[in-house]
Structure 1
Amino acid sequence: MKTQLKITVLLLSLSVFFTSFGQSKRDLDNYRQPDQRGINVFEAPKDSISTFDGINVRIGGQSTLQFQALDHENSGAVALKEIGYNFNLATANLDLDVALAKGVRMHLRTYLSSRHHPEPYVKGGYIQIDNLDFVSEGFMSGFMKYATLKVGHMENNYGDAHFRRSDNAQALYNPFVGNLIMDAFTTEVGAELYYRRNGFIGMVGFTNGKLNQAVSNPDTGGASFLAKLGYDKQLNDDLRFRLTGSLYNTGAVQTSYLYSADRAGSRYYLVLENEDANPTNQFRSGRYNPNLRNKITAVMINPFVKYRGLEFFGTFENATGRANNELEDRTATQLAGELIYRFGQNEKFYVGTRYNKVDSEEANGDDIEITRFNLSAGWFLTKNILAKFEYVSQKHDGYNANSIFNDGKFDGIMLETVISF
């Protein structure tokens, strides 16, 4: 913990240093803005003209706070934690983005405060290469005009839903308070190669399949393969269309964290948790992990359509796999649809709804169904400040009589404020 605090003090000192010496250039090349301009941006844009004129360090971050007013209940077979209405833990991120050379950028995110960890810790980072002039001027320029390479211990690009989810304190891109029930998100060491041309998107990637890095137990390692293929085009001034299909596959790893890697935790604190639960240990309340721990093949398809202020984002996901002690594969399927209407000057207001459903075969034989309904409204006070209101209702069916989720449900309202810069 002392080491983490020293790192945090160092990063904050760097922030003061660069601010004091007039590092005021906030817009970087090939970069997704952390404010309202980053809404509905997926992969970082590919810029054709470089503005690099020397190393530039951009200090940014986010701070987020929720007020929770949720009630929960189940069949009574397992007693639930008593919860009331109050504020959740305020969460915070610190971002360092550094332009290192023409078309070369580094990103590092540190969680300063999160639901799971009481101390600051690094989420991950990567180096992004959009130009190879550092090798020699004009090297592979024809290919790099359309290509991007990312390398690091980073958030892996499986599906499009992770571009809209809340990442600890970075909740400005998410029109709702919570993420999906089956929240696909992981950080693994690897590389991703992108090729984008005339609206078409292609990506292939490989990782070592590990969330927690270690050289011990070398025989229990593995690898994961990622791929994405899609099309994203602004067809005219009013209409944008995007459709992608993604694959995440690992044949044998010690532990797969695809649906449990988010150490920052969920937004719905202590819902459907037992009497001994606390926010730090039971930090995934309201989510579902199919526990395909050692073998998994997951496919996600995401359509996105925006016509003027009206937008639709959809998710179809199918995950198949098993744990080492299982003889047969199991399958979990997720459907989600979001309908958002943005209005006002610069679309500073929005209202939206989302329906999310998961059907899954449990290892104990239960065929379970989880459904969630959300209503949301938001107001961008400035491009860096967002206030949200959300109503959420979630129900669990198909669990056996001894499960805490038997006839489980929760509902109520959430208020959230986000500052991102």
Structure 2
Amino acid sequence: MKSTTIKIGLLSAMMLTGTVNAQQFPLDNLKPRDQRGMNMFENPKDSITTFEKLKVRVGGAFALQFQGLKHESGADQNNAATQLYDIGNNFNLPTANLDLDVALYDGINLHLRTFLSSRHHNETYVKGGYIQIDKLDFIQKDFLSDFMKHATIKFGHDEINYGDVHFRRSDNAYTTQNPFVGNYLMDAYATMIFAELYYQRDGFIGMGGVTNGRLNQNATGGTSPSVYAKLGYDKQLNNDLRVRLTGSVYNAADTQRLDFYDGDRAGSRYYFVMENAAATSSGNFRSGQVVPDFKNKTTSFMINPFVRYKGLEFFGTFESASGRNFLETERRTWNQYAAEVLYRFGNEDNLYFGGRYNLVKGELATGNKVDITRYNIGGGWFMTKNILAKAEYVNQQYNGYPTTSILNDGGFSGFVLEAAISF
């Protein structure tokens, strides 16, 4: 207990220091984590430096939801295996993040995120981190400066840059980038060992990356490198209009455990939905998500258009993924479609409302062809640039699942409120 108290005291002091320091200085080429980071995708690229000496910025995030959802299933409710959990209106587990950003050298930054509290893990654990290199002056002053004016090298063990959806998702307690409470149905997110090379110039974006495709690292064999890439264009055409279009691809040729669509260890925001009555603790932390079950091989493509005209925003997603697990000989295909429309208004766009439609179609390992639909309607209020309150109505329906599945003709709906702080 004494050790825990000391740790809490030290952490509180660090967080207080971080809050003050975050107001005193920015770090080059790292996007802010408050309202200013909305609609920012990749980290910014600027060769102009403010580096003077090693600096550490401590930040964090906190989130809490009140959930009022109901669910139903067409499966036999007298069967213990398919009987639904009795959910009610109540608060979810509060979540918390700790972020460390470090200016190590002129043009070299470090980012590290730790989950202090999450649905999947009660204990504190490191989510991931990376080093970002925007200059090579540590080799020699102005080394390859013409190239590095537009290039960025990034490597570490963290989420990879596949698609644009992961820039608008909730990352445990860091939820201010997500205009709604839940993430997308098919969540292409995982923390892996990776290396990425970016080239950004006149609105054009190019990125190539390589990873071993593993969430948990060990020295065993049986894994081939996975490769991925992104091409796109992002330009503020005038004061009113911004357009962005990107296409991404990810290919895992062979791996012993692929967590590409079920790698979010923080867990779903919709607690206990479509879960068995015997669920305990926080239940299945992926409740409400769709997992294609590609454990061995996968090839995925994602296209994301983004348009903002004055206060009106559109963000779209088309994704196609094919793959298989170890017991299969043929690949299966899953497709995801999504459209998100928002309108931002008020003092510095501190208010917004809108909707999101999400559809996933695919084939189960059993051969059943299924589809899942979800729509969200809601809005939010940035009370300050660091404090966001959200409210949404969500409705999700399952079709095509076998009668022996708890998801057979199932669905859930209701309201969720979320309060979020990020700095």
- Residue 101 of structure 2, aligned match among 90, 97, 121: 97
Query: In the superposition, relative to structure 1, how do residues 193 and 22 fare at CA in structure 2: closer, same or farther (>3 Å)?
Result: closer
Name the amino acid aligned to 1:392: V
Name the amino acid aligned to 2:414: G
Q: Hey, what's the Cα distance between the residues in 1 that align with 2:249 and 2:303?
A: 9
TM-superposed CA distance for 1:8, in Å, is 6.2
Q: Hey, what's the Cα distance between the residues in 1 that align with 2:34 and 2:87?
A: 33
Aligned partner of 1:201 in structure 2 is: 205
8 Å contact from structure 2 (residues 47, 135) kept in 1? no
Q: Hey, what's the Cα distance between the residues in 2 that align with 1:221 and 1:48?
A: 37
8 Å contact from structure 2 (residues 15, 59) kept in 1? no
Alignment of 1:106-121 (within 5 A): 106-121=110-125
- Residue 132 of structure 1, aligned match among 133, 136, 140: 136
Query: In the superposition, relative to structure 1, how do residues 329 and 90 fare at CA in structure 2: closer, same or farther (>3 Å)?
Result: same
Aligned partner of 2:317 in structure 1 is: 315
Aligned partner of 2:257 in structure 1 is: 255
TM-superposed CA distance for 1:19, in Å, is 5.7
Query: In the superposition, relative to structure 1, how do residues 265 and 203 fare at CA in structure 2: closer, same or farther (>3 Å)?
Result: same
TM-superposed CA distance for 1:15, in Å, is 1.6
8 Å contact from structure 1 (residues 29, 47) kept in 2? yes
Q: Hey, what's the Cα distance between the residues in 2 that align with 1:386 and 1:264?
A: 20
8 Å contact from structure 1 (residues 58, 96) kept in 2? yes
TM-superposed CA distance for 1:251, in Å, is 0.6
- Paired residues, number: 417
Alignment of 1:214-293 (within 5 A): 214-215=218-219, 218-293=220-295
Query: In the superposition, relative to structure 1, how do residues 297 and 5 fare at CA in structure 2: closer, same or farther (>3 Å)?
Result: farther
Aligned partner of 2:33 in structure 1 is: 34
8 Å contact from structure 2 (residues 18, 59) kept in 1? no
Name the amino acid aligned to 2:311: G
Aligned partner of 2:79 in structure 1 is: none
Query: In the superposition, relative to structure 1, how do residues 103 and 14 fare at CA in structure 2: closer, same or farther (>3 Å)?
Result: farther
- Residue 154 of structure 1, aligned match among 153, 158, 170: 158
CA RMSD of aligned residues (A): 1.9
Name the amino acid aligned to 1:329: R
Q: Hey, what's the Cα distance between the residues in 1 that align with 2:321 and 2:218?
A: 27
Among all aligned residue pairs of Structure 1 and Structure 2, give the percentage whose two residues are the same amino acid.
57
Aligned partner of 1:396 in structure 2 is: 398
Name the amino acid aligned to 1:415: L
TM-superposed CA distance for 1:154, in Å, is 1.1
8 Å contact from structure 1 (residues 25, 56) kept in 2? no
Q: Secondary structure of the residue that 2:348 maps to in structure 1? A: helix
TM-superposed CA distance for 1:219, in Å, is 2.7
Name the amino acid aligned to 1:81: Y
8 Å contact from structure 2 (residues 321, 333) kept in 1? yes
Query: In the superposition, relative to structure 1, how do residues 10 and 250 fare at CA in structure 2: closer, same or farther (>3 Å)?
Result: farther
TM-superposed CA distance for 1:158, in Å, is 0.5
Q: Hey, what's the Cα distance between the residues in 1 that align with 2:4 and 2:208?
A: 37
Name the amino acid aligned to 1:202: G
8 Å contact from structure 2 (residues 21, 57) kept in 1? no
Aligned partner of 2:413 in structure 1 is: 411
8 Å contact from structure 1 (residues 240, 305) kept in 2? yes
Query: In the superposition, relative to structure 1, how do residues 279 and 143 fare at CA in structure 2: closer, same or farther (>3 Å)?
Result: farther
Aligned partner of 1:177 in structure 2 is: 181
Q: Secondary structure of the residue that 2:97 maps to in structure 1? A: strand
TM-superposed CA distance for 1:21, in Å, is 10
TM-superposed CA distance for 1:18, in Å, is 5.2
Per mean C-alpha deviation after superposition, the further-off stretch among 407-416 and 19-28 is 19-28
Aligned partner of 2:171 in structure 1 is: 167
Whether 2:45 is the aligned partner of 1:46: answer yes
8 Å contact from structure 1 (residues 333, 360) kept in 2? yes
Aligned partner of 1:71 in structure 2 is: 70
Query: In the superposition, relative to structure 1, how do residues 24 and 32 fare at CA in structure 2: closer, same or farther (>3 Å)?
Result: closer
* TM-score, with length taken from structure 2: 0.95
Q: Secondary structure of the residue that 1:220 maps to in structure 2? A: coil
Q: Hey, what's the Cα distance between the residues in 1 that align with 2:16 and 2:55?
A: 13
Deviations 1:52-104 (A, max 9, x none): 11111000000000000000000132210000000000000000000111111
- Residue 126 of structure 2, aligned match among 119, 122, 125: 122
Alignment of 1:328-339 (within 5 A): 328-339=330-341
Q: Secondary structure of the residue that 1:185 maps to in structure 2? A: coil
Q: Hey, what's the Cα distance between the residues in 2 that align with 1:191 and 1:400?
A: 41
Deviations 1:346-396 (A, max 9, x none): 001000100000000111011000000110110000000000000000000
8 Å contact from structure 2 (residues 72, 411) kept in 1? yes
Deviations 1:271-315 (A, max 9, x none): 000011135351011000000110000000000000010000001
8 Å contact from structure 2 (residues 97, 117) kept in 1? yes
Whether 2:91 is the aligned partner of 1:87: answer yes
* TM-score, with length taken from structure 1: 0.96
Q: Hey, what's the Cα distance between the residues in 2 that align with 1:22 and 1:33?
A: 13
Q: Hey, what's the Cα distance between the residues in 2 that align with 1:322 and 1:285?
A: 22
Alignment of 1:343-354 (within 5 A): 343-354=345-356
TM-superposed CA distance for 1:190, in Å, is 1.4
8 Å contact from structure 2 (residues 272, 283) kept in 1? no
Q: Hey, what's the Cα distance between the residues in 1 that align with 2:229 and 2:13?
A: 37
TM-superposed CA distance for 1:242, in Å, is 0.2
Deviations 1:92-149 (A, max 9, x none): 0000000111111000000000000010000000000001111110100000000001
